[in-house]
Amino acid sequence: MKGNLLKSNKKGKIVTSVVLGVMIGAGFLHAAEDTRYTNPKADERVNAESNLSAPVREFTENHDVIEAIRQSKFTGFAAVRQVSVGGNDAKGNAWQTMIKLDATSARLYGFQAQVGIYMSQGTTAPDNSTSDGSVQGSRAIRFNGGGVSDAFNFSNINFGYHLDAGPLKSEIVLGRMNMRSALVNQSTDYGLGGMYKGDLSGLQFSLAYYDSWVTDNIYKSLLTRNWDTATKAGATQFGIGNNLIRVSIANSGSFVKGLSFEATYLKAVHLVDIGYLDARYKLGFMEDKASFDVYGQLGYLYLNDGAQFQVGGATGDAANANKELLSGPIAGQAQSVAWAKNAGLYNIQANLNFNFLEKQSAGGTIGFMGSFGQGYGVSLANGTFKTAGSLWQSYTTYLEGTHFTGAGSKKGTSINVAYAKLHYAPIKPVTVGLDLAYIKGKTNMPLLKKAQANRGISNDQKTYRYSSIDTNNKGLFEITPRVVFKYKKGISFTAEYSQILGDMQMWRAYFEARFTL
């Protein structure tokens, strides 16, 4: 894109005009790419870099702000997804369209401006719904607050400074930004505050403070319990005011060859304390045409005494219910929901990969995840713990999973997952994969509307967990084959079919077309 902007042809002038209009008229833009993750599976996932790490030009003297904006680097994606679910315990189909466009200005005296636009319409988790009205109006999509996943606006508005001082490279970012941590979804989760990141001879360390923040999983968990009230009161634009502090340290193998790790401590004041550690040791052999690695993760959450969500922006019943969420009965409900005072998860896996020829590759993973303590909700978003399987972690996208407002947040819950996955690329553009997962424990996993009707259960949505399978634990087994076709650089197609057997009987067919800048 940078090269296109430097050209003096007509196309370059048009693109430059658009860039100037967005950057000057709207603010600063952030560079990050959203990718739906199929392991550990949820609606969306990102493999994002730090805000200021995009390889953009550096300007000093004899260049002004306009020229720095002209040299902006663009990243992002556009995706269309179609999903159908069925079986004894699920019914529905849906479309989802998404656009994420991010730009980062060139550095001017070390400073950088960033701004981002995010559009999402529809869902990948239909529940007794059809796609008849998914087009949402003529001329353009008419957002009316009808869906918790629908959003369109500027996503990132921040300003940063980059400094190299010998072996120490530093960056500081202030404003509204994607939060950076293994404990969040780095595409959909935002904080308003500041972040520092340093790199000292390969040792990366960072510190972040957010005055107001929210993750997509927590946002949906809190809001959907009071959706009608919240939308009528205009309370969908809320954040969490429990000030969030994060400290992280990581290394990618510069100290011990093949060994990488990340350690994080996160505190949301008057809410939770979370500790997280992951490590990988990798060995190459057969002249680096093959590799073997062992990967482990450990997470622990402690729920503070008297913990409460300090919800800002919501009013009336929505705000009251959210604030009372952790202190006993939920807003007018006779049944008290006991929260896990502490929760823990561990995950260990072995990976073997081969590159037979230049255009062929294959590999596999085998692993086990288990819980300890009173529950298993230990992160701020799904996706932290890398396992296998697609549907069991994403059939609602926010009620199940390992985040601390999901199914594992209830006192007395537990989970054990044995999993394996295989992948084979017969030719470079095509990868065929297979995921297997067996899930057992007092999981408290939610039941969809069709499953509740079949069991004669009434839906209690205000528990934000729905009626669940926390007492009858025969276990769940998932098998998911998939095919990924990367047509050209930046163009890919994914087809996936998931089948769950055991306590729940349901299937999902998923298709995605994606264009990535």
Residue 438: which of 493, 503, 350, 485 has the closest Cα? 503
CB atoms within 10 A of CB 202: 12
pTM of the model: 0.84
Kindly report the three-state secondary structure assignment for every residue of 137-171. Answer: CCCCCCCCCCCCCCEEEEEEEEEEEEEEECCEEEE
Q: Where are the domains of the chain?
A: 2-516
Please enumerate in sequence order all residues whose Cβ is within 8 A of that of 246, keeping only pairs 6 or more positions apart, or say none: 179, 181, 183, 206, 207, 208, 209, 264, 265, 266, 267
Q: For residue 334, with 0-12 CB atoms within 10 Å meaning exposed, 13-18 middle and 19 or more buried, which class applies?
A: exposed
For position 456, what pLDDT does the model report? 76
Distance CA 256, CA 309 (A): 42
From first CA to last CA, the distance across the chain in angstroms is 9
Q: Are strands 311-312 and 272-285 parallel, antiparallel or unpaired?
A: unpaired
CATH class name, domain 2-516: mainly beta
Structure-derived torsion over alpha carbons of residues 195, 153, 187, 83, reported in degrees to the nearest 10: 170
For position 65, what pLDDT does the model report? 78
Which residue's structure tokens are 């350690």? 263
> What is the distance, to the nearest Å, from the Cα of residue 35 to the centroid of all Cα atoms in its chain?
9
Per-residue model confidence as pLDDT tens for the chain (517 residues): 444 433 334 444 443 444 444 443 433 333 333 333 333 333 333 333 344 444 456 655 556 778 888 888 898 899 999 999 999 999 999 999 999 998 989 888 899 999 999 999 999 999 988 888 888 888 888 887 667 788 889 999 999 999 999 899 999 999 999 999 999 998 899 999 999 999 998 899 999 999 999 999 888 877 765 545 555 555 567 788 899 999 999 998 778 889 999 999 999 998 999 999 999 999 988 888 899 999 999 999 999 987 878 877 655 554 554 554 554 433 334 344 678 899 999 999 999 999 877 788 999 999 999 999 999 999 999 989 999 999 999 998 888 889 988 888 888 889 999 999 999 999 989 999 999 999 999 888 888 888 888 877 765 544 434 455 554 566 899 999 999 999 988 999 999 999 999 988 999 999 999 999 8
Q: For residue 357, with 0-12 CB atoms within 10 Å meaning exposed, 13-18 middle and 19 or more buried, which class applies?
A: exposed
Distance CA 413, CA 337 (A): 12
Beta bridge partners of 263: 249, 277
**How is the chain split among helix, strand and coil, in percent rounded to 5?**
15, 50, 40
Q: Are 504 and 447 in contact (CB under 8 A)?
A: yes
What secondary structure letter does DSSP report for 124?
S
For position 511, what pLDDT does the model report? 98
Distance CA 72, CA 334 (A): 56
DSSP calls for 31-56: ---EE--TTTT-S-EE----TT-S--
For position 459, what pLDDT does the model report? 59
Q: Are 4 and 12 in contact (CB under 8 A)?
A: yes
For position 303, what pLDDT does the model report? 92
Q: Are 58 and 106 in contact (CB under 8 A)?
A: yes
